[in-house]
Structure 1
Amino acid sequence: MPADYHTHTPLCKHAEGEPEEFIAAAIAAGVSEYGISDHAPAHVDGFDDWRMDFAELDDYMQWIDRAKSAAEGKIPVRIGLECDWISGHESWIDTLAEFTSWDYLIGSVHYLSDWDFDNPAWLEKWAKTDVEDAWDRYWKTYAKMADSGMFDIMGHADLIKKFGYKPTGDLRRYYEPAVDAIASSGCAIELNTAGWHKPCAEAYPEPDFLDLAFSAGIPLVISSDSHHPSEVARDFDRAITWAREAGYTETVLFDQRQRSFEPLPEAS
Structure 2
Amino acid sequence: MEWPADYHMHTPLCRHARGEPVEYALRARALGLREIGFADHAPMPQDDFDDWRMRASELEAYVAAVEAARRAVPEVKIRLGLEVDYLPGLEGWIRELAGRHAWDFLIGSVHYVTEDWAIDHPGQVRRWEGVDPASVWQAYLERLEAAAGSGLFDILGHVDLPKKFGHRPPAELAPLWRRLFEVARRAGCAIEINTAGLRKPCGEMYPAPALLRMAFEAGVGLTFGSDAHAPEEVGSDWAEAVRLARAAGYRETLRWEGRRKVGVELPELPACPVRSQVVE
TM category, shorter: over 0.9
Partner of 1:124 in structure 2?
126
User: Structure 2: how far apart are the matches of 1:223 and 1:19?
Assistant: 15
Partner of 1:83 in structure 2?
84
Partner of 1:261 in structure 2?
263
User: Structure 1: how far apart are the matches of 2:101 and 2:22?
Assistant: 22
Query: What is the one-letter code of the residue matched to 2:199?
Result: H
User: Structure 1: how far apart are the matches of 2:33 and 2:82?
Assistant: 19
What is the alpha-carbon root mean square deviation over aligned residues?
1.2
User: Structure 2: how far apart are the matches of 1:170 and 1:32?
Assistant: 41
| Post-superposition CA distance 1:3-22 (Å, at most 9, x none) | 00110000000000122211
Partner of 1:220 in structure 2?
222
Superposition pairs for residues 1-268 of structure 1, below 5 Å? 1-71=3-73, 73-113=74-114, 114-268=116-270
Q: May I ask how many residue pairs the two structures share in their alignment?
A: 267
User: Structure 2: how far apart are the matches of 1:173 and 1:192?
Assistant: 23
How much does 1:200 deviate?
0.9
- CA 1:209/1:169 → structure 2, altered by over 3 Å: closer, same or farther? closer
CA contact (8 A) 1:238 1:267 kept: no
How much does 1:171 deviate?
4.7
* Greater shift in the superposed pair: 172-181 or 253-262: 172-181
CA contact (8 A) 1:3 1:34 kept: yes
How much does 1:49 deviate?
0.2
| Post-superposition CA distance 1:91-149 (Å, at most 9, x none) | 21101101111000000000011201100011111112211100010001110111101
- CA 1:62/1:168 → structure 2, altered by over 3 Å: closer, same or farther? closer
How much does 1:169 deviate?
3.3
User: Structure 1: how far apart are the matches of 2:207 and 2:256?
Assistant: 21
How much does 1:168 deviate?
4.1
Compute the TM-score of the two structures, normalised by the length of structure 2. Answer: 0.93
CA contact (8 A) 2:138 2:173 kept: no
CA contact (8 A) 1:156 1:205 kept: yes
User: Structure 2: how far apart are the matches of 1:235 and 1:204?
Assistant: 12
Unaligned stretches of 5+ residues in structure 2: 271-280
Detail structure 1 runs of 4+ shifted over 4 Å in the superposition. Answer: none
Compute the TM-score of the two structures, normalised by the length of structure 1. Answer: 0.97
User: Structure 1: how far apart are the matches of 2:226 and 2:209?
Assistant: 17
How much does 1:90 deviate?
2.0
| Post-superposition CA distance 1:209-253 (Å, at most 9, x none) | 111111111111111000000000100100111100011111101
User: Structure 2: how far apart are the matches of 1:158 and 1:247?
Assistant: 19
User: Structure 1: how far apart are the matches of 2:269 and 2:195?
Assistant: 15
CA contact (8 A) 1:172 1:209 kept: no
Partner of 2:273 in structure 1?
none
User: Structure 2: how far apart are the matches of 1:235 and 1:167?
Assistant: 24
Query: What is the one-letter code of the residue matched to 1:66?
Result: A
In structure 2, the residue corresponding to 1:26 is in which secondary structure? Answer: helix
- CA 1:167/1:103 → structure 2, altered by over 3 Å: closer, same or farther? closer
How much does 1:266 deviate?
1.4
